[in-house]
Amino acid sequence: MKNNTVIKPIMAIAVFALFLAFCFDLSTESIKTPGFCFLIVCTVLTIVIFRNNLPRTAVFYTMLTGMLLKLAYVIYTPVWCRQHDVIDFGAGEGHAAYMEYILSHKALPDFDPRSVWAFFQPPLHHLVSAVWMWFNIRVGVAENRMHKNVQILPLLYMCILMFVVYLICRELNMRRGLLVTMLAVSFHPIFILMSGSINNDALAVLLTVISIYVAILWYMYPTTGKIVLLAVTIGLAMSAKLSSALVAPSIGLLMILKCKNDTENFKDKAKTISYLLEFLAFAVIVFPLGLWWPVRNKVLFNMPVNYIPEVGEHVSKRGFIPTILDVRTASPFLYMKSNGFSYDEYNLILATIKSSLFGEGDFARISAAVNVLGWILFGLAVVILILQITAMIRTCISKEAGPDPMIKMFLSVTFITFLAGYLLFAIKGGNLSAMDYRYSAASVAVMAIFAGLMYDREEVLGRNVLRYVLLGVTLAFAVASCLFYLVIGL
């Protein structure tokens, strides 16, 4: 793909983000305003006027609608609502305070990060946010608008993530299955929720997905420049959130197997040495860039490298069988004592699905319609998860299904690694927050890619039933997600 084909859409998204920050008042926190309605009308008119210069595809309009839905969510969601460890600006602790500290001191915390809530996290996102806040101040943006404008950053990240997934699909020569993938990614609630969340999740997930894309590019067209870029993206992802390191095992395996195949089981010594030198350069970049923050805190404050404080409501121990198999539930939303339930969610299967759709919120109190839509979305999510797991298995074992077997292995190992990391963290954590699937959100994009690959495989083999079911369920899921996250904002 040509560079300008990649750069221009990202520039367009960035320009749109700047327009929102300085020409549109997001602090109204409502989509029932003339301003938002006018913005939608202008978007429609722009599409009509420039229709000959825009792609006339369902995929394009899927991604555009997904962007507008995320924008709507950001507009009606305050910076203190449905957040994770944020609290609010001015609270003195949490992610918002982390940004404020860097903004006011022009430096990283010079004290033990464990002494202030959320300051133990790697600072990349908070640094970027502090610079963004400083720029807002310089151009005269009012304080309440400046705080709201911080949400533009995760919105920008999630919009770019959609485009990166699209680029991955194009590199894998996905055809009509591309629509299935982009429907799932553009409207998946986990990315909608992240678009309004000002903690470090969105940036970490974006950089992780970019790492997956660069790894595929390097495998298909290996160059030293790409492996350096790969090291930088992984290192930056870890500088945003250490759990991003979960992408490293599958990338490392891909690199080793690529070297093995290209050197005929390491028999070509010259080529083997060339690969080893590249891998050395990779290590020299990725380890300092990804681990500097925990190593710094270990040296200065004796903070454990894998330090994670206990957070959230404690989950009662129910034993292995109910934790895995007891899937009885009376609500599509997470059970939480703070929301009036008799206990906190303890079943990992339910927690995985519920938290990926609704985070840790209980929307049932908003209206009966929201509760009904929640059940519909939950049911469709169960079906689509089964279909996507089926897609991964069938794609990996099928000779007819593209892409390259090594790429299929890489994507499947990536998903398994993220899922295993989530399950281990959730079981070990012992609290409800540890069961939030946002920690492994990148795997949602991977599974959507497998769904698109299976769609193309079934089309090649002339099997229409499964193909139509997959498209129909994914479309229904996208519509239900769109309705749910519009209704709660009305």
Report residue 392 as tokens.
């991964």
Q: Is residue 398 part of a domain?
A: yes
Residue 164: how many CA atoms within 13 Å on its side-chain side? Answer: 22
401 pLDDT above the threshold of 80: no
**Using one digit for the tens of pLDDT, what is the confidence trace for 221-243?**
999 999 999 999 999 999 999 99
- For residues 460 and 256, which has the higher predicted lDDT (pLDDT)? 256
**Using one digit for the tens of pLDDT, what is the confidence trace for 329-349?**
889 998 887 777 877 788 888
Domain with 365 in it: 320-487
Q: Is residue 388 part of a domain?
A: yes
Q: Is residue 395 part of a domain?
A: yes
Residue 301: how many CA atoms within 13 Å on its side-chain side? Answer: 16
202 pLDDT above the threshold of 50: yes
- Within 8 A by CB and 6+ apart from 114, the residues are 120, 301, 303, 307, 309
Q: Is residue 36 part of a domain?
A: no
Q: Is residue 419 part of a domain?
A: yes
3 pLDDT above the threshold of 70: no
Contact between 480 and 376 under an 8 Å Cβ cutoff? The reply is yes
Q: For position 318, what pLDDT does the model report?
A: 67
Compute the distance between CA of residue 71 and CA of residue 155 in angstroms, rounded to an integer: 7
133 pLDDT above the threshold of 50: yes
Q: For position 313, what pLDDT does the model report?
A: 66
Q: What is the pTM of this model?
A: 0.94
Q: Is residue 127 part of a domain?
A: no
Q: Is residue 10 part of a domain?
A: no
**Using one digit for the tens of pLDDT, what is the confidence trace for 56-108?**
899 999 999 999 999 999 999 999 999 988 989 999 999 999 999 999 999 99
Q: Is residue 339 part of a domain?
A: yes
Beta bridge partners of 314: 431
- Within 8 A by CB and 6+ apart from 389, the residues are 447
Report residue 243 as tokens.
């759990």
Phi, psi of 330 (to 5 degrees): -110, 5
Beta bridge partners of 431: 314
Q: For position 2, what pLDDT does the model report?
A: 47
Report residue 195 as tokens.
């678009």
Q: What is the DSSP string of 54-110?
A: S--SHHHHHHHHHHHHHHHHHHHS-TTSS-SS---TTSSSSHHHHHHHHHHHSS---
Domain count, the chain: 1
